[in-house]
Chain A
């Protein structure tokens, strides 16, 4: 069964390969409801969200357990990425960059509790699962940032996560936190790994480093990456090709 809904202003697609029964329907409902709830709680665009209230009156705001955890993860990654992953913008806190992958990770656990043949895609970020004995991995295409209907690489993955950072859709939405400049190159950076939080955050951080980001990713264990630059040349990390179909 496969369903797509638009939540958090993004299309969210869940496919679970299993015969249709009550639990399956409940799982779909639970997952989509979870994203709606997360959006309500943490969207900086919703005036009643915890993020909006925290920014409005940081002095008198009690952090929820969940928000504390999100901020803790942000803080850890800020250190791990040498400050390239940031949640501070113009004096406001916006952990949206993490909330999305945090929610995907939580949803993944919810589904994994009952199923092992599924994928979940939220705005281009993906988690997949296949049974251990399966001979058919999930096939994931990396979108051509210059030609929207094309894909330029196919990654085959049984279990893991894929995240892409890019400047081509959200109109250059990633900045270098150290000089405030908009990143205009690379155009697209895809990271493959085990955890969606790690792949997503590292893709964002490495993207903010500019073309040197791929060298940084090369030195990290458990992550492989594919970077596309403005000249339509792609650079990949040493073991990326092991994922390529």
Chain B
């Protein structure tokens, strides 16, 4: 039974995702916006799936496990009619906190601080913010001036 639920959850996520892409695509707005902050917990929203699926599924409603999406739990319910996935209910979604509240609510760890200090330059690779071609060319030009 657990396996079935898990597999339905997986299918649900896949179908849900393709639906998302398709719906956004149809609506001419392919938007990936941040979840809006709402204070209603366990808000249930119905998504209608216009999607062909070839799997024979048991009819009924199946609640997936609550899984961690980094900053809250996501839980969905799959609705199967005529052996096909006909809908997904999102039972819980981490939208009860505005993102900034979430970030601020993290346990504030005491992290080690130090003043930055020049190190030996004997390294093989350097990590830094991305050079734009402009910055790169400027830097190259100055290097060439030095080399000249």
- What is B's interface to A at a CB cutoff of 8 Å? 17, 20-21, 25, 28-35, 69-71, 98-100, 102-104, 106-109, 111-133, 135-136, 139
A134 at the interface (CB under 8 A from B): no
The docked-state distance in angstroms from the alpha carbon of A58 to that of B25 is 7
What distance in Å separates the Cβ of A223 from its nearest Cβ neighbour in chain B? 12
Which of the residues A93, A125, A216, A220 comes within 8 Å of B130, measured between beta carbons? Answer: A125
Across the interface, do A71 and B103 meet the contact criterion of CB distance under 8 Å? no
Contacts A11-B131, A58-B30 given; indicate if A139 touches B136 (C-beta within 8 A): no
Across the interface, do A126 and B139 meet the contact criterion of CB distance under 8 Å? no
Query: Chain A at the B interface: mostly helix, strand, loop or mixed?
Result: mixed
Instruction: Give the interface size class of chain A.
Output: 35 or more
The docked-state distance in angstroms from the alpha carbon of A209 to that of B123 is 30
Across the interface, do A138 and B124 meet the contact criterion of CB distance under 8 Å? yes
The docked-state distance in angstroms from the alpha carbon of A44 to that of B28 is 18
The docked-state distance in angstroms from the alpha carbon of A146 to that of B122 is 19
Across the interface, do B119 and A153 meet the contact criterion of CB distance under 8 Å? yes
A88 at the interface (CB under 8 A from B): yes
Which of the residues B108, B119, B125, B139 comes within 8 Å of A215, measured between beta carbons? Answer: B108
Q: Hey, which chain A residues are within 8 Å of B25, CB to CB?
A: 58, 61, 63
What distance in Å separates the Cβ of A108 from its nearest Cβ neighbour in chain B? 14
Across the interface, do B133 and A9 meet the contact criterion of CB distance under 8 Å? yes
Which of the residues A148, A152, A178, A188 comes within 8 Å of B139, measured between beta carbons? Answer: A148
